Structure 1
Amino acid sequence: MEIGNLLYDYLLKTGLSENTAKYLNMLVLLAFTIIAAFLVHYIIRRILLSFFTNLSSKTKTNFDDLLIKNKAPKNIAHIIPLIFTLNLIPVIFKDFPYFENFVLKSFLVFTIILVIWIVRSLLNSIRDFLKTIPNLGDKPIDSYIQVFMIFAWAIGILSAFAIITGIEFIKFITTIGAASAVIILIFKDTILGFVASIQVSINDMVRIGDWITFEKYGADGDVTEINLSTVKVQNFDMTITTIPTYALIADSFKNWRGMQSSGGRRIKRSVNIKLDSIHYVTNDELDSFKKIQSITTYLENRQEDIDAYNTKNNINKELLLNGRNMTNIGVFRKYIETYIENHSGTNKEMMIMVRQLAPDTQGIPLEIYAFSSDKRWQNYEYIMADIFDHVIAAVPYFNLEIFELPSNSSFVQRNEEGTITDKIDLEDE
């Protein structure tokens, strides 16, 4: 207090009035405090940054680098200048109680904000550090950090209001208890997101990097971020879809992680064979089919079994319908299965099946069910297309036809030059 009066006493001796001397004394002390606080802050900041920089170069962990990145030393450097200023406020405004009360409350509120900044810097550094750990990189760490920050901001705001109003913190909390319903309504999505984040984490429903399909929200891509309120999905067309976190437990979605962690990606597609192209295999056709190397041995063994059965049971083979016979679609089905089993792009340790589905108005679907050994989207599509290119091209070799709806070109006749010579009238037909 005596130091603060030195300038005041000197000003009185120069002949200034007491009121003028008080204001000049206050302004000079305030200017001195501001300059001193900036100098202290600059020195402390340089020391902390130098310390953390040297520390990060000597340690193997990158946690200290993350502290610098998230401005933790910069925020911590405010502490000593703030304490220095708080101690001088009573000296500066000793003759101005109203100003002292206002400035002191302002600095106390700033102290609360500074503490929150420091906590946020530390939590963000911990978050970034945990994401570098392989076992934790795909966990919704952002959600937990946000929960801590929400509680920190809530306590900070309530403490600031308590300081401004002059009410004790506990009494202030009790006073706003009646408004809890409104608070819950305001933070409804946050509360739902918090609960959903816990359930998603515990049940391991979604991880960062998972490929998910969420038709309700138009999402089909990789999860890039999971936080308290939203889940961000980068779709394969490079757009971003934002999904409420609680929607992951409220609605149904598809997670492709099981496929990605398995030995292959499923191929499940069919071609429709025209029903009127299916028939029993004649001897001439059988000889032709035996030229297909991949099924030559199968056809020879199969025909021996059929002939032995028919001979043993005295089957009259003047009519193909009698006894046991092979069909062209059955031979084709065996050929496809053999082709897929020998294809370089399929996983031989997973199921390989070629089956018939129920006939419908578009023929009889012949479905291929297998798994590609390469799960990458582009390579998977290439393998599947390569298989069906071959299958579609092989159909005529078995005297079969693929069903397709007729187009306009199906009802015209062309000459050798490709010019339309006649149109077929379906009504006349």
Structure 2
Amino acid sequence: MVNELQSWLLSHGLNEAGSVILSNVFSLAALVLLSLVINFLARRFLLSVVHYAVARTEAKWDDYFVERKFFSQLAHLVPAVGVYLAVPIIFSESPTLVTSLTHGIYIYIVVVSVLSIDAFLNAVHDIYMHFDVSREVPIKGIVQVLKIIAYLIGGIFIISLVLDKSPFFLISGLGALTAVLLLVFKDVILGFVAGIQLAANKMLVEGDWIEMPKYGADGEVMEIALTTVKVRNWDKTITTIPTYALISDSFKNWRGMKDAGGRRIKRSLLIDIHTIKFCDEEMLARFAKIRFISNYIEQKKQELAEFNSLYYVDNEMLANRRRLTNVGTFRAYVAGYLKNHPSIRQDMTFLVRQLEPNEHGLPLEIYVFTNDTVWANYEGIQADIFDHILAILPEFDLSVFQVPSGNDFKSFLSNSASQKS
């Protein structure tokens, strides 16, 4: 075809060199036009048919291949095939040009193939994310490794085409660069291994609440990638942690709390030791009217009366008798109050206990679990409980220990001055 065009140009008075150049330019222009026409037809008809068929199906998985433009990438192979078949015909008398153009087409096919594999892997990952198992076994790191391998192999093929060498020749030469490759891809290798361990041991999944003070992370896991894990902190900042650091360092995962359905309240109330005393009859009569401990008071009064009569205790000497205390009765009230609280789980650890007294008073610790694990709701439940306990404390003739403030000292000095005057 080129020779026919060249002969026609010579017959119209063009010299041989000019006719060769001009004929090649016209042939290349025709080749470009042919590729554009084939590409238009492929995208206008073939791709439209594929998209129409995908839209008509009830399945959802094929929609992700359309969204990730997998079929659009494959459509670019159609003009490449057409041009590949047309080059030997158009440039039949120019073997060198045929070879050069063929190599260029090969490179184009490799690039399109790699991009198609990239789109295919993205679509597969999107489909996988809609399965429940994706929360426990994320595959994004594996997908990224496969992409790296695809791009690496594509790069080797392109270099082999440019250098006109066998791909296996280049691959065999990579053995000498192993140390360099290990250094360059150190983070990728460590991240890949760490990702496998995290997935196999179910140590971390997207949506987990983790704490890792070393990296300033305290929030929800957004993404588990090949080399990094993104955490959205509760202050809306984002912390990026190396994936392998989750294996080499320690972190706290709150998933167990969510799975158990109970969140722990562990807080102490410091009671002023000077307000602790035995209960007299007036106090017992008053406490017996309180709903949560009325049965407790009657039971304890009967138990102590039986004990004192059994051992012939001298009732005139109060120190010889077993008696109720206001702090013990208050502890029973708190336990009764929490057992009747609708937001406290009764099937998990339930403690209302005294800790060792110290210079700040007697710590009364509440150790229970709420049935709501949402942070805001949990804080509201905890606050309501301690609001009530602090407000009810004076009913038991008890007070909370509080370090004296400047106003306390000011009031004390003012009272001292008024007494002296």
**TM-based fold match above 0.5:** yes
CA shift, 1:360, in A, is 1.9
* Structure 2 Cα separation of the partners of residues 97 and 272 of structure 1: 95
* Structure 2 Cα separation of the partners of residues 219 and 172 of structure 1: 44
CA shift, 1:137, in A, is 4.5
CA shift, 1:46, in A, is 2.1
Alignment of 1:149-298 (within 5 A): 149-298=147-296
C-alpha spacing 1:423/1:307, structure 2 compared with 1 (3 Å): closer
* Greater mean deviation of Cα atoms: 36-45 or 95-104: 95-104
* Structure 1 Cα separation of the partners of residues 2 and 281 of structure 2: 120
Corresponding residue of 2:381: 383
CA shift, 1:73, in A, is 1.5
* Greater mean deviation of Cα atoms: 154-163 or 387-396: 154-163
* Structure 2 Cα separation of the partners of residues 258 and 217 of structure 1: 22
* Structure 1 Cα separation of the partners of residues 111 and 318 of structure 2: 92
Contact kept in structure 1, 2:345 and 2:371, CA below 8 Å: yes
Corresponding residue of 2:31: 33
C-alpha spacing 1:105/1:406, structure 2 compared with 1 (3 Å): farther
Corresponding residue of 2:111: 113
Alignment of 1:62-141 (within 5 A): 62-90=60-88, 102-141=100-139
Contact kept in structure 2, 1:263 and 1:347, CA below 8 Å: no
* Greater mean deviation of Cα atoms: 77-86 or 193-202: 77-86
Corresponding residue of 1:422: 414
Contact kept in structure 2, 1:213 and 1:219, CA below 8 Å: yes
* Structure 1 Cα separation of the partners of residues 205 and 179 of structure 2: 33
SS in 1 for 2:134: coil
SS in 2 for 1:422: helix
Counterpart of 1:271 in structure 2: which amino acid?
L
**CA-to-aligned-CA distance 1:257-283 (integer Å, 9 cap, x gap):** 111111321111111112222222222
* Greater mean deviation of Cα atoms: 287-296 or 198-207: 287-296
* Greater mean deviation of Cα atoms: 397-406 or 189-198: 397-406
**CA-to-aligned-CA distance 1:175-211 (integer Å, 9 cap, x gap):** 2321110111010000000001111111111111111
CA shift, 1:18, in A, is 1.4
Alignment of 1:346-357 (within 5 A): 346-357=344-355
**CA-to-aligned-CA distance 1:205-225 (integer Å, 9 cap, x gap):** 111111111221111221121
* Structure 1 Cα separation of the partners of residues 130 and 262 of structure 2: 28
CA shift, 1:67, in A, is 1.0
Corresponding residue of 1:417: none
* Structure 2 Cα separation of the partners of residues 263 and 316 of structure 1: 52
Counterpart of 2:115 in structure 1: which amino acid?
W
Counterpart of 2:245 in structure 1: which amino acid?
A
Corresponding residue of 1:24: 22
CA shift, 1:115, in A, is 0.8
Corresponding residue of 1:418: none
* Structure 2 Cα separation of the partners of residues 423 and 211 of structure 1: 54
* Structure 2 Cα separation of the partners of residues 98 and 405 of structure 1: 95
* Structure 2 Cα separation of the partners of residues 102 and 361 of structure 1: 90
* Structure 2 Cα separation of the partners of residues 274 and 318 of structure 1: 29
Alignment of 1:307-346 (within 5 A): 307-346=305-344
For these two proteins, the number of residue pairs brought into alignment is 418
Counterpart of 2:17 in structure 1: which amino acid?
N
CA shift, 1:320, in A, is 3.1
C-alpha spacing 1:384/1:5, structure 2 compared with 1 (3 Å): same
CA shift, 1:98, in A, is 6.4
Q: CA RMSD in A?
A: 2.1
C-alpha spacing 1:19/1:95, structure 2 compared with 1 (3 Å): farther
C-alpha spacing 1:184/1:424, structure 2 compared with 1 (3 Å): farther
Contact kept in structure 1, 2:208 and 2:221, CA below 8 Å: yes
Counterpart of 1:141 in structure 2: which amino acid?
I
* Structure 1 Cα separation of the partners of residues 174 and 339 of structure 2: 71
C-alpha spacing 1:101/1:409, structure 2 compared with 1 (3 Å): farther
**CA-to-aligned-CA distance 1:282-329 (integer Å, 9 cap, x gap):** 222222222222101111110110111011111123343323222211
CA shift, 1:85, in A, is 2.2
Counterpart of 1:15 in structure 2: which amino acid?
G
* Structure 2 Cα separation of the partners of residues 200 and 213 of structure 1: 16
Structure 2, unaligned runs of 5 or more:
none
Contact kept in structure 1, 2:272 and 2:361, CA below 8 Å: yes
* Structure 1 Cα separation of the partners of residues 49 and 311 of structure 2: 97
CA shift, 1:423, in A, is 7.5
* Structure 2 Cα separation of the partners of residues 227 and 48 of structure 1: 36
* Structure 2 Cα separation of the partners of residues 91 and 4 of structure 1: 9
Counterpart of 1:384 in structure 2: which amino acid?
Q
* Structure 1 Cα separation of the partners of residues 48 and 296 of structure 2: 79
C-alpha spacing 1:96/1:410, structure 2 compared with 1 (3 Å): farther
CA shift, 1:335, in A, is 0.3
Counterpart of 1:117 in structure 2: which amino acid?
L
SS in 1 for 2:304: helix
Contact kept in structure 2, 1:267 and 1:384, CA below 8 Å: yes
CA shift, 1:103, in A, is 4.4
Counterpart of 2:196 in structure 1: which amino acid?
I
Contact kept in structure 1, 2:47 and 2:71, CA below 8 Å: yes
Alignment of 1:39-78 (within 5 A): 39-78=37-76
* Structure 2 Cα separation of the partners of residues 99 and 407 of structure 1: 94
* Greater mean deviation of Cα atoms: 195-204 or 358-367: 358-367
**CA-to-aligned-CA distance 1:347-366 (integer Å, 9 cap, x gap):** 22222210111222211211
Contact kept in structure 2, 1:266 and 1:371, CA below 8 Å: yes
* Structure 2 Cα separation of the partners of residues 129 and 424 of structure 1: 79
* Structure 1 Cα separation of the partners of residues 220 and 196 of structure 2: 20
CA shift, 1:92, in A, is 5.7
Contact kept in structure 2, 1:48 and 1:73, CA below 8 Å: no
Contact kept in structure 2, 1:212 and 1:256, CA below 8 Å: yes
* Structure 1 Cα separation of the partners of residues 52 and 135 of structure 2: 28
Normalised by the length of structure 1, the TM-score is 0.92
Name the structure where helix makes up a greater proportion of residues.
2
CA shift, 1:81, in A, is 0.7
